[in-house]
Structure 1
Amino acid sequence: MPTALIPVPSRDSDPSEVAVSWRVLTDAGHRVVFATPDGAKASCDELMVTGEGLDLWGAVPALRRFPLLGRVLRADPVARSAHAALVDDPAWNSPIRWPEIDIAAVDGLLLPGGHRARGMREYLESPVLRAAVVAAFRRGLPVAAVCHGVLLAARSVDPETGRSVLHGRKTTALTWALERKAWQVARVTRFWDRDYYRTYREEPGQPDGYMSVQQEVTRALAAPSDFLDTADPVQRSGRVRDRLDDERPAFVVEDGQYVSARWPGDVHTFAKRFAAKLQA
């Protein structure tokens, strides 16, 4: 039974990218091991689970339980169902510690995303996780990264080459178009937490989008053209999500043993492609 390792931060990982990936992998007969910073059970971003707090009235305790826009922005019913099953799963409740990660003991590595700076920065900035990513690429294991998970991969520099493990590879990630669209909406509807959808903001003098996932990942690649996006209007809309039996809305990039995707709307197809590489 192939084993997939999924490291996550203590909190604020994306529930769709974690739970749907777990569901697809386990349904395919694979074993999943989770890893957290301290070995304690993690929690996904609760706003993406419930949608509460994403509307103009979301700061009002008596009203936040009645989301409107939040119902659109949160995880869809399939992902919420997967998340409800995940929180009772023994693997989710008994993770290993990040320092205990042994890439030689697993068959593949999956890097989910999440955007909320409160919890995601420890994940994106972890030297331990970056070393694990480098080790996985060196061993030629299947590696999958989605959304901000691609940013973790891009920041993983192989000390032997001095370059990112993604240098010379084709990849996608959360695009600036999708990131900006969600951020612009939340700046109005979640006005008390205007940067909820931005993990990192530009410093003075940096151009618009410089600290977006797409632009930082692109800077780690051999050429800007190695970052791939789609021209398909359905895939670009950010409104239609894929299903196990409908890959049409998804945009997933494969480069050898490496699989990447943009956002939760790609995750069924993304996880299926990774599961197939594990099986192979």
Structure 2
Amino acid sequence: MAHVLIPVPHQDFDPSEVAVPWRILIEAGHRATFATPDGRVASADPIMLSGEGLDPWGFVPGLRKLRLFGLLLRANADARRDYAALERDVAFNAPIAWDAIDTERFDGLLLPGGHCARGVRSYLESEQLQRVAAAFFAADKPVAAICHGVVLAARSRGADGRSMLHGRRTTALTWALEKSAWSLTRVTRFWDPHYYRTYPDGAGQPAGYMSVQQEVTRALARPDDFLDVPADATHHRRKTSGLVRDSDTDDTPAFVVRDGNYVSARWPGDVHQFARQFAALLETAAETRP
């Protein structure tokens, strides 16, 4: 059994990317400790749970519950079920503070994502968490990162000043997926057009410069080390459309990359396969621990 650390921001993390891996890791016999900025219980992005506020009329209080695009973009039924169970979990309700993390206590690290800037920026920009991630990589302990969580991994630095992902292969939220959701929500959520972009491009920057894919790629040894679904991949359309998510019984929509003791994935549509691969990696690492 492995002991996994799951740091999250105080609010706005993606419910799918926390709850589904938590459930799969627990079912595999592992245990989890959650960490938040100050040790208070965290909460997921409420929009990703309800879907309210993702339609053009979503800013009108009386019409928020009439959802169309919101039902398409929110966490699916499996993730909402797992999140409801997570909210009742003893460990989730007794998190430690980020500054209390002792990496030697843990066998693995899970870095989930989330895109809403209010809470997630504090998570991605935390120097404390960047040092934590760097320590796990330096010790060659299993690390799993998904979606924006890969940005946190990319920002972690080794003694040489390079990203801990330098020399590794990874995936993350692709610009194609990020742009597709952003293009839709800046129309349907026109009063908050950058809801789906944690870091909008700045003046003079090319389109997508501040996207997850581009920031992560800039941290790598070679641009080719950022991996996306190959053009000739089986089930290519299911993997790239952004409309189909994997499940406990169907991993055909998923795309997950493993490089040594590091596992990465793109978005909530990969989360079941991502979690299963991480659980297996933890088991393998446990067998080789002295």
TM bucket by the smaller chain?
over 0.9
Identity of aligned residues (%): 63
Instruction: Please give the per-residue CA displacement for 1:120-164, whole angstroms capped at 9, x wherever unaligned.
Output: 000000000000000000111000000000000001111x11100
Q: Match for residue 172 of structure 2?
A: 173
- Alpha-carbon distance in 2 for matches of 1:66, 1:269: 32
**Could you tell me which amino acid in structure 1 is paired with residue 196 of structure 2?**
Y
**Could you tell me which amino acid in structure 1 is paired with residue 187 of structure 2?**
V
The SS at the match of 1:208 is coil
- Alpha-carbon distance in 1 for matches of 2:35, 2:59: 32
Q: Match for residue 268 of structure 1?
A: 272
Q: Match for residue 277 of structure 1?
A: 281
Q: Which runs of 4+ in 1 moved over 6 A?
A: none
Instruction: Please give the per-residue CA displacement for 1:217-245, whole angstroms capped at 9, x wherever unaligned.
Output: 00000000000000322101000100122
Q: CA RMSD in A?
A: 0.6
The SS at the match of 2:85 is helix
The SS at the match of 1:228 is coil
Instruction: Please give the per-residue CA displacement for 1:47-104, whole angstroms capped at 9, x wherever unaligned.
Output: 0001011011111111101211101100000000001111111111100000011111
**Could you tell me which amino acid in structure 2 is paired with residue 260 of structure 1?**
S
Q: Can you give the 5+ residue segments of structure 1 that lack an aligned partner in the other structure?
A: none
Q: Match for residue 205 of structure 1?
A: 204
Q: Match for residue 43 of structure 1?
A: 43
**Could you tell me which amino acid in structure 2 is paired with residue 245 of structure 1?**
T
Q: Match for residue 112 of structure 1?
A: 112
Aligned residues: 279
The SS at the match of 1:177 is helix
Q: Match for residue 228 of structure 2?
A: 229
Give me the TM-score of the superposition, normalised by structure 2.
Answer: 0.95
- Alpha-carbon distance in 2 for matches of 1:87, 1:77: 15
The SS at the match of 2:60 is coil
Q: Can you give the 5+ residue segments of structure 2 that lack an aligned partner in the other structure?
A: 285-290
- Alpha-carbon distance in 2 for matches of 1:61, 1:92: 31
**Could you tell me which amino acid in structure 1 is paired with residue 267 of structure 2?**
W
Give me the TM-score of the superposition, normalised by structure 1.
Answer: 0.99
